[in-house]
Every structure is written in C-alpha cells, then in structure tokens.
Chain A
Amino acid sequence: MTRLLWCLLALFAVSGWASAQAIDPLPFKSRVEEVRFQHLTKQLRCMVCQNESLADSNAELARDLRHAVFALMQVGKSDAQIKHYLTERYSDFVLYDPPFRRGTLLLWLGPILLLLLTAAALIATDRGRIPSRTQARQEEPW
C-alpha cells in the first residue's frame, strides 16, 4: 500500500495533505551526531513530496536518502560533502538553502535591494518631512 501510494506520489498525481510523519530510529553513536543528523535532514528537500524536508517525509525515497545521509555521516563525511553528494545526483533542488551562485543572485541580494527601495519609497512619499532639527517640537507621546 505504501509503495503504491509512493508510486502515485512519484507520478505526481497527488495533491493535498501530508499526514503521516517519518519516525525512523537510527543507531546514532552520540547525541551530538543525532542532533547534527536532525539539523541536516531538515535542510534537505524530499524530491517526491509536495513540500517537505527529508526529516519530515514519510516517502520511501526520503527514507532511503535519510539512510544514505546517515551512512555518509558514519564514514566521516562533513555536512558540505553530504550536500554535495546529494546535489550531484538530484541537483540543487534538494537544498532548501540554495547556494550563492549567478542564478540565485537575486534571491540573496534581493532583500538588500528591497530594503533600499522601501527606504527610497518612504522618503519619496513624504519629501521635506524628514528629520528637521529646527522646527521639531517635543510633544506629549499620547
């Protein structure tokens, strides 16, 4: 049944809600490793789901990839190496944190642009009212 369901998911037929969660006990060596794993899988996207991380998804592929991440951690790979391993195979789409490159320039620099634009808009909508030392009077706050 799960397989069938997953196949349907893989075939893009499903729209709607995800309801079952991914409870997946793994033999972590330490609490630190467990936290690192939880943190890392939260930043990786499940390919076949609507919009869920590997940590949250119950899809079978997500489970396979979680186990792959776990195995890579066991052989001492760093977070960056694990992310590289996944993007090599599944493209940047698996990263919820897109890397800074030409294609994502607008994404990462956009907020600064927005800040400047908003500031300009604020000033322009009320020219001449901007802080003027000479006339401002102190008034009751309420």
Chain B
Amino acid sequence: MMRTLPLPGFALLTALFGFGIRWNSHHDPHEVPSPLIDKPAPAFVLPRLDHPGQSLDKTSMLGRPYLVNVFASWCIACGEEHPVLMTAGRKLGIPLIGYNYKDDPSEAKAWLARHGNPYDQVITDRSGRTAIDFGVYGAPESFLVDAGGVIRYKHIGPFTAELIATELAPAIAALRREAP
C-alpha cells in the first residue's frame, strides 16, 4: 500500500497545477474579493470636485442605491472603462458617484472635460485615506451600495459593456425587487 501511495499523491498535485493554469488564465491572481460585501459601506465625508468647499457624506446618500466608481486621471484602464460608463453606465438608473482617487483636482477636471463626465457627483480623496476604509487597492474599482448603505457588489478592474449587462445590471435589478 505504502508503495503505491506516492502515485495518487502526485496525481492530486498534478490536478492542482492543472487547476492553477486554468484558473490563472481566467482570473487575475491579484484580484482579491472584498470582505466588505454585505457590510455597511464605511462612513465617508469627502469634498466635491466641482465645489471643494462642499462635501458629500454617506448619510446624505441613504435611501437609494448608487454606484461608486473609483477613477483617476493617471489611470490608464480608467480611460478604457470611460466610454462604457458614458453609455451603458448612464442608463443604469441609479446615481453614479465618481470617486477621484489620489489625483490632482485640476488634472481630474481636465480629464473629465476631455473625455466627458458620466458622473452625477464627483468626490475627491487626494490622500487615499478614505479609500483604505473601502479597501480600494487600485483603480478602477466600483462599489454598488444599496438604499440602506450596505455594499452589495464590488467589481475590480474596468467595466465592460458585457460585464455591466451580466453582473451589474442584474445586481441593481435585485436591489429594486427588494425595495418595494
């Protein structure tokens, strides 16, 4: 028995590597699921990009679902995602909050002026301090927050039209069904 034991052990190992190759060609190894799903979104108070004197906070957003989209003018993938937000993103039927992450406000304004502004509101987090509470580790990232202020869905990396149709839109539809 002991003599044949190494064989199945090795077979398991091979299966694991096979899985690893498959998994890595479909998933990004850096993509770490957020532990904040189904937890209340962190309280935030952040200045608005257009009126730095005014700020937006979490309590004022309670009562309706919204999408927080982390972006920055220095982020290349955000540029890829942008046209999708301009079209499909605007048709979601919920407010789109742009979360300008570790960016220079004037560069962010210029970027939005150049590419168009899909957001209902844009808030800025220049130091990235609040982003840590959201568990942000790159851009773009998007959070779907429900009417009760709970994070229901997170997407890491750029949205594509297909992803919006297959993941985000159904998640929003589910939120609508919950709330009478």
Q: Do chains A and B touch in the complex (CB under 8 A)?
A: yes
A-side interface residues toward B, CB under 8 Å?
3-4, 7-12, 47-48, 60-61, 64-65, 68, 87-91, 93, 120-121, 124-125
B137 touches A61 (CB 8 A): yes
Q: Does B106 contact A (CB under 8 A)?
A: no
Which A residues are CB-close (under 8 A) to B134?
89
5 smallest beta-carbon distances between A and B, as pairs? A10-B138, A124-B2, A89-B135, A47-B137, A3-B74
Binds A, one of B30-38, B56-64, B169-177: B30-38
Q: Does B133 contact A (CB under 8 A)?
A: yes
The answer to whether A87 and B35 touch (CB under 8 A), given A3-B74, A12-B30, is yes
A12 to B28, CA, bound (A): 7
Q: A7-B74, A125-B2 are in contact. List 10 more A-B contacts (CB 8 A).
A: A4-B76, A7-B76, A7-B139, A47-B32, A61-B137, A91-B35, A120-B2, A121-B5, A124-B1, A125-B3
Which B residues are CB-close (under 8 A) to A89?
35-36, 132-135
B132 touches A65 (CB 8 A): yes
18 A-B pairs whose Cβ atoms sit less than 8 Å apart in the complex: A7-B72, A7-B74, A12-B31, A12-B157, A47-B30, A48-B138, A60-B102, A61-B128, A61-B137, A64-B132, A65-B132, A68-B132, A87-B35, A89-B133, A90-B32, A93-B32, A124-B1, A124-B3
A91 to B31, CA, bound (A): 12
Q: Tell me whether chain B's interface is mostly helix, strand or loop, or mixed.
A: loop
Q: Which of B2, B32, B33, B77 meets A121, CB within 8 Å?
A: B2
Q: Which of A11, A68, A93, A124 meets B76, CB within 8 Å?
A: A11
Q: Does B16 contact A (CB under 8 A)?
A: no
Q: Tell me whether chain A's interface is mostly helix, strand or loop, or mixed.
A: helix
Which A residues are CB-close (under 8 A) to B5?
121
A11 touches B36 (CB 8 A): no
Q: How large is the interface on B (under 10, 10 to 19, 20 to 34, 35 or more residues)?
A: 20 to 34
In the complex formed, the residue of B with least CB distance to A1 is: B74
Q: Does B75 contact A (CB under 8 A)?
A: yes
In the complex formed, the residue of A with least CB distance to B132 is: A68
Q: Which of A11, A88, A91 meets B33, CB within 8 Å?
A: A91
Which A residues are CB-close (under 8 A) to B74?
3-4, 7
Closest chain-B Cβ to A120's Cβ sits at a distance in Å of 7
In the complex formed, the residue of B with least CB distance to A90 is: B135
A48 touches B135 (CB 8 A): no
- 0 or 1 for each of B105-127: is its CB under 8 Å from A? (1 = yes): 00000000000000000000001
In the complex formed, the residue of A with least CB distance to B134 is: A89
In the complex formed, the residue of B with least CB distance to A7 is: B75
Closest chain-B Cβ to A122's Cβ sits at a distance in Å of 9
In the complex formed, the residue of A with least CB distance to B76 is: A7
